[in-house]
Amino acid sequence: MGRFSGFGVTLKQMFKPRVTGDYPTTKRPKPDRFHGRHVLNRYEDGMEKCIGCELCAGVCPAKCIYVRGADNPPDAPVSPGERYGFVYEINYLRCIHCDMCVEACPTEAITESKLFEFSFENRADAIYTKAELLVDDEGRARRQPWELWLGDEDDRTSGWMRATSPAGDADYEGRVNWSGELGFGVRDPEQGQSA
């Protein structure tokens, strides 16, 4: 009955669990290092981490980042150092989410969340300005109306960074080397690679 065995296969599959999910209402958990939409982080005291050095813009292979630095006003500084990111724009029509800006950033100001569901209605919406990228007072990403945020997609935006030594020194594994973030403090490192 070779040519009729297909009937058995299809009937058997009816009683197996579904492999697809309820996508728009629930999303699958994403890996810690997922490259999604960027956020600009702040320190625990609310100061911005970005120092306007333009390393991210320089390393960006898609040339989608535009940064202009400015001197901090002495009476009301925006960031702890000498300069701050005066203009910060990312064009998501060009961004390829390679994460090189994140690796280049000396202060861990720019990191990536796990959100990739954008649906812009015009080109202006696709260019995120600092007002949209900068985290809010709880340290969470500001949710734009055309983005679909669900669950913990903005929870662990930066915890995995530099948890291991770039030189491969095993002693550095799991050692936290970064500064605290607004709303989260010092984030736990990613689970060790040897574990």
CB of 76 to another protein, least distance (A): 49
Nearer to another protein, 18 or 28 (CB): 18
Q: Which of residues 17-36 bind another protein (CB under 8 A)?
A: 17-22, 24
Q: Which stretch binds another protein (CB under 8 A): 1-9, 49-57, 72-80, 115-123?
A: 1-9
Contact status: 2 vs another protein (CB under 8 A): no
CB of 148 to another protein, least distance (A): 14
Amino acid identity for residue 88 in this structure: Y
What strands lie across the sheet with 127-128, from one edge to the other? 65-71, 83-91, 127-128
Report which DSSP code applies to 142.
Answer: P
Contact status: 7 vs another protein (CB under 8 A): yes
CB–CB of 182/44 below 8 Å?
A: yes
Contact status: 11 vs another protein (CB under 8 A): yes
CB–CB of 70/53 below 8 Å?
A: no
Report which DSSP code applies to 134.
Answer: B
Contact status: 150 vs another protein (CB under 8 A): no
How far apart, in whole angstroms, are the C-alpha atoms of residue 91 and residue 64? 5
Interface positions with another protein (CB under 8 A) = 6-7, 9-11, 13-14, 16-22, 24
